[in-house]
Amino acid sequence: MAKSADFNLQIAQFPNLDSEGFEKTSDATSRYNCIAWSNSDDAIWWWPQFGPVGVNYWPSGVPFDDTLDTFQKMFRLDNYEVCNSSDFEEGIEKIAIYMRDAHVTHAARQLQSGKWTSKIGRNIDLTHDTLRALEGPLYGDVACIMERKRALSDPIGEGVLRPGDK
């Protein structure tokens, strides 16, 4: 099993990561972030303000703030709706939105395996067994789960789709 220290992930920021289980799935990059990755995009940083490389994407018509309402509105553009459970459901793709101090901090996407995939800022992508794995002082807690029907062009839930592919 991977250990957080192997990837410059500070255990103080992710106190549950090692005990909940995770696997590194890509090298570190600042090209994209967790919001992009939760939207199956590994080409550009998604955030209402500029990303670390000075370039980002944010859908038109969505406010430029980091509130839960804003991120729910953004995900609704891709047919996600708020749901009550993070449990795996066949044919359904889910995302989890994390918050700390009333600000959205992170999003994770559920894979067809039932595990979750996350991009850790400018660091690595990882697959984590539970949502609890990333809860802690950096990202806070899961505040919302949203779901949509899984795209037919991504039957196993592991590939990267661009927004126009959905």
**pTM of the predicted model, to two decimals?**
0.87
Instruction: Spell out the SS3 assignment of the chain.
Output: CCCHHHHCCCCCCCCCHHHHCEEEEECCCCCCCHHHHHCCCCCCCECCCCCCCCCCECCCCCCCCCCHHHHHHHHHCCCCEEECCCCCCCCEEEEEEEEECCEEEEEEEECCCCCEEEECCCCCEEEECCCHHHCECCCEEEEEEEEEECCCCCCCCCCCCCHHHC
Domains of the chain by residue range: 22-154
Render pLDDT for 110-136 as a digit per residue (tens, 0 to 9): 999 999 999 998 888 999 999 999 999
Stretch among 10-24, 102-116, 139-153 having the lowest mean pLDDT: 10-24
